[in-house]
Amino acid sequence: MQTVSVFLQTTNQHYIERFCHILQSMQEKIDTSPVRIECRVEEHGCHTQFRFVSWSREEYTCETLEYMASFVALLVTEWTVQVIEVELLRTFLKRKAKGAFIHKFDEIYPYIQFVFHELDEVRENMNRSTRKAAIYEQVFRYLDEEQYLYLEGFVKFRLKNYRILLDKAFEMGLQQYQQDKEYQEFVELLRFFVSKQEHRYPLVHVVLRETQEFIMYDQDDTKIDLSQVDTILGFRPDRQEDHIMSALIALAPEKIVIHGVEDSNVLMQTMRAVFGDRVLGCVSCAHCLTTPGNLDFQFSSHYNT
């Protein structure tokens, strides 16, 4: 028979309830046969003890001897990620964010989760443990030597690298959220400005080139001299997307057709965010044939009619 005890402070009922919920979920999903693992909950002063007891219907092997520690380590890992992780991130937000951001945790959290996903992928590619695996390994090693685990203290003092990782992910996620909000505000401003413009061209075609260059044609398929547009703007944007958007705002077309770009393309999404239903996509006309990767002779274009 093996025993392991996990202690949580009785004053924090939320921690205890979530621990019980995760424990029940794991008991329903994980088959530890031939080892049977039971948990007995007892009150000991200011702590609630989760006493895990295991025994095997068969003679223990090197593998089954680790079932108890593996089960508890997995339980502690899930509890840490599902409960403590969110609380720590909320604490970081209150301490580091300013103004309205303090109350935007539910909006910021998905960005942090995306950062976690990216960091885990990087660590896997480097043959290093993901954040969950790192927690699990540390708990498992601890239980290999100790029978008693005081959970709040363990997270605070033993998982310092994990807390550093959380802080890094929070900073990156918050930065991405802020950039996204600024971008959305900028798009809203452009959309408002564009909606007030008088149209200078009935139609402008945008044809992308392989060299990150692009050509624009008017409704008569006459090439538009973009150098004049750059002169009007007073500068030439470095990024293709910025250059195209700046040129279109200066040209103020009533309708825009972008050739050889899928609907899911970032440029297409940005153009539609600013110009709305004035933007049309085409992948099958003569212009599209000059765009690499879009050689399709089956369809004709009717955008000029």
List the domain boundaries for the chain.
2-189, 198-289
Return d(Cα 157, Cα 163) in angstroms, integer: 10
Mind giving me the DSSP string for 174-238?
A: HHHHHHHHHHHHHHHHHHHHHHTPPPSEEEEEEEE-TTS-EEEEETTSPBP-HHHHHHHHTS--S
Mean pLDDT of 19-46: 94
Return d(Cα 79, Cα 94) in angstroms, integer: 22
**In this predicted structure, which of 24-28, 115-119, 232-236, 277-281 has the lowest mean pLDDT?**
232-236
- Inter-residue contact 247 to 226 (CB < 8 Å): yes
Return d(Cα 80, Cα 158) in angstroms, integer: 12
**In this predicted structure, which of 168-172, 197-201, 272-276, 284-288 has the lowest mean pLDDT?**
284-288
Residue 212's pLDDT is 64
pLDDT in tens, 203-252: 999 998 766 688 999 999 999 988 877 776 666 677 788 888 889 998 99
- CA distance from start to end of the chain: 83
**CA dihedral sign of residues 11, 14, 17, 23:** negative
Mean pLDDT of 97-125: 87
Confidence of residue 293 (pLDDT cuts 50, 70, 90): very low
**In this predicted structure, which of 73-87, 179-193, 233-247, 291-305 has the lowest mean pLDDT?**
291-305
Return d(Cα 174, Cα 97) in angstroms, integer: 9
- Inter-residue contact 159 to 20 (CB < 8 Å): no
- Radius of gyration in angstroms for the set of CA atoms belonging to the chain, rounded to a whole number: 29
What are the tokens at 42? 């007892």
Considering the chain, what percentage of its residues have pLDDT values greater than 70?
Answer: 91
Mean pLDDT of 109-116: 95
pLDDT at 63 over 90: no
- SS3 for 168? helix
Query: Please, what is the average pLDDT of the chain?
Result: 87
pLDDT at 302 over 60: no
pTM exceeds 0.85 for this model: no
Return d(Cα 227, Cα 217) in angstroms, integer: 14
Q: How many helices (H) and strands (E) does the chain have?
A: 11, 8
Return d(Cα 76, Cα 114) in angstroms, integer: 23
φ, ψ (nearest 5 deg) of residue 9:
-65, 130
Mean pLDDT of 267-291: 84
